[in-house]
Amino acid sequence: MKPDDIPDENLLYIVGQADKELFQTGMDIKRRLWEVPRLVMKRFGYLTYTIGGPGKPKILERIDRAFASIYRKQDLAVGGHIGVFMYRDIFARIAVPHVFGTVSINPFECIDLTPVQLRIIQSEPEEMEVLIDQFSDVADIQYGTQEIKSPFTNIELVVRFIGLARLHLHSASAVLTGGYDFRGAVQSSLLATELALKAGAAASGMSEEQIKEKFGHNVSGVARLVATYWPSFDFDRVTRVIATQPKYVLNRYAASQPERREVGHLVMGAQYIVSEVARHLSDRDFRKDIHPPFARQYPA
């Protein structure tokens, strides 16, 4: 029987078995997304073929559909960093797409708001400015943390700390935009702030032990050092954001936690600080490509 003549149910079984086989080797789901179709096509006798666009074999399209039917969309999503934009008192997810080369990006296509909400925001200049500020920060975090420039890319502590800052910020955004208890985002946002600033300290040449001994959880002190090392670092704005944050250790054991909108501002403030460090560690600055340019409004 030719591969094109295999019934859908039989093809699904073949794909499922190939997926199970690769899973048992320890292969991650994101990689199996590409490797399962390749393995099945090889077993069908296809050695060279087009994997996308005109010329893609129909059997490969069917294999892809079969594999996709086994899992949920979120299982197969190959996403980057997510962020949050607080509109009134709701939390909208910002998801910056992976792009290669020079392309134009429409922020309104990357934020999880209803068409009506987007129309309303476009009639409110202040909300528009906050949205663009937050989208820019999330974009700089996604690309800046992946494109750290020399000499910082060769400093393990810099790469580790900024990567962990992004990870904790990602968690905070997921909590807020996933409809979970918003208070769960507080500690993650505080950790993201601290780790990003300490990445800046590591960039200045300090060791992990020196950073720990000199600063502990004193993020204001770290920010002051970073501003000394990078004169263009927006120290005044960063310290204003830090002033609104609860103390990390005290908050960890406190029965009382910030209210909903406070948490939204905490996470968006942390987004700004992480992005400000990422911009200095890389050559990324989304705002430079906005025309006509306008001054940052958020955080104030």
Tokens found for residue 138: 């999330």
Q: Mark whether 152 and 199 lie in a shared domain.
A: yes
Q: Mark whether 54 and 182 lie in a shared domain.
A: no
| Parent domain of 43 | 3-76
Q: Mark whether 36 and 95 lie in a shared domain.
A: no
Q: Mark whether 68 and 156 lie in a shared domain.
A: no
Q: What amino acid is encoded at 83 in this protein?
A: G
Q: Mark whether 174 and 283 lie in a shared domain.
A: yes
pLDDT on residue 103: 59
Per-residue pLDDT of the chain (300 residues; tens, 9 = 90+): 899 999 999 999 999 999 999 999 999 998 999 999 999 999 999 989 988 778 899 999 999 999 999 998 777 766 667 899 999 999 999 988 765 555 567 888 889 999 999 999 999 999 999 999 999 999 999 999 999 999 999 999 999 999 999 999 999 999 999 888 999 999 999 999 999 999 999 999 999 999 999 999 999 999 999 999 999 999 999 999 999 999 999 999 999 999 999 999 999 999 999 999 999 999 999 988 887 888 899 998
Give a yes or no: residue 297 inside a domain.
no
The helix (H) or strand (E) run that includes residue 288 is: none
How many domains does one find in the chain?
2
Give a yes or no: residue 294 inside a domain.
no
pLDDT on residue 194: 98
pLDDT on residue 30: 85
Q: Residue with structure tokens 């990357």?
A: 110
Q: If you compute the radius of gyration of the chain from its CA atoms, what whole number of angstroms results?
A: 23
pTM of the model: 0.79
Q: Mark whether 46 and 156 lie in a shared domain.
A: no
Is 3 within 8 Å of 44 (Cβ atoms)? yes
Q: Which of 54, 76, 98 delimits the end of a domain?
A: 76
Is 172 within 8 Å of 267 (Cβ atoms)? yes
Give a yes or no: residue 295 inside a domain.
no
User: In sequence order, what E strands does the chain have?
Assistant: 82-87, 90-95
Q: Mark whether 188 and 227 lie in a shared domain.
A: yes
Strand partners, 85: 92
Q: Which of 50, 76, 102 delimits the end of a domain?
A: 76
Tokens found for residue 289: 């490509």
Q: Which of 44, 76, 108 delimits the end of a domain?
A: 76
Is 260 within 8 Å of 91 (Cβ atoms)? no
Q: Mark whether 129 and 107 lie in a shared domain.
A: yes
Cα distance between the two ends of the chain? 67
DSSP 257: -
What's the rounded Cα separation, in Å, for the pair 45 and 262? 59
